[in-house]
Copies of this chain bind each other. A is one copy, B any other.
Amino acid sequence: MRRDPTTLPGRPCSLAAALEVVGDRWALLAVREVMFGNHQFSQIARNTGAPRDRLAARLKTLVEAGVLERRPAGQPGRFGDGYHLTDAGRELSPVMRALLTWGDRWAVTAPPMRMRHHDHPFTPRTVCDTCGEPVRDGDVTREMLAPQWTMEGHSDG
């Protein structure tokens, strides 16, 4: 379900389009639980602490947007039913890792979870996929392609 970014309110921007789908606390926590292997509504509700009606609405949006898919129950043992990640859902991993790392640094008194890469502690670092160099903020520039928009905002000219 892709959106024409020029129909968004404000600046045409893929970040804004992404946030229309996942720009909600309960949506991303639901994705977290499915990533952790919890596929049932009741597990997701308990582990996120989300109000059930809001969680149900967010899961519906995530399925419609193609981030999650819902597999029907009915097989013996119900194995494989519930909510599962699509390719688009799996590709949210960098977003989740970046938010978790930021939260560890700035939002909690002490990290309640530890990430490991193979046999050592994991901290993500962003590099440029083209040249492989570590990214410093000042080295990345952005350019608006949408007509009439500049980095500063809408141009009346």
- A93-149 contacts to B, CB under 8 A, are 93-118, 120-131, 133, 135, 137, 139-146, 149
Partner of A4, one of B28, B47, B109, B153: B109
Tell me whether B49 and A9 are in contact (CB under 8 A).
yes
Assess the A20–B10 pair: CB atoms within 8 A.
Answer: no
Q: A63 interface residue, CB < 8 Å from B? A: no
| Complex: A129 Cα to B146 Cα, angstroms | 35
Q: How many copies does the complex hold?
A: 2
A133: B residues at CB distance < 8 A: 117
Question: Are B103's CB and A137's CB within 8 A?
Answer: no
In the assembled complex, the CB of A131 is this many whole angstroms from the nearest CB of chain B, namely 7
Q: Which 5 A-B pairs rank lowest in CB-CB distance, beginning with the nearest?
A: A9-B49, A10-B49, A14-B103, A18-B103, A23-B25
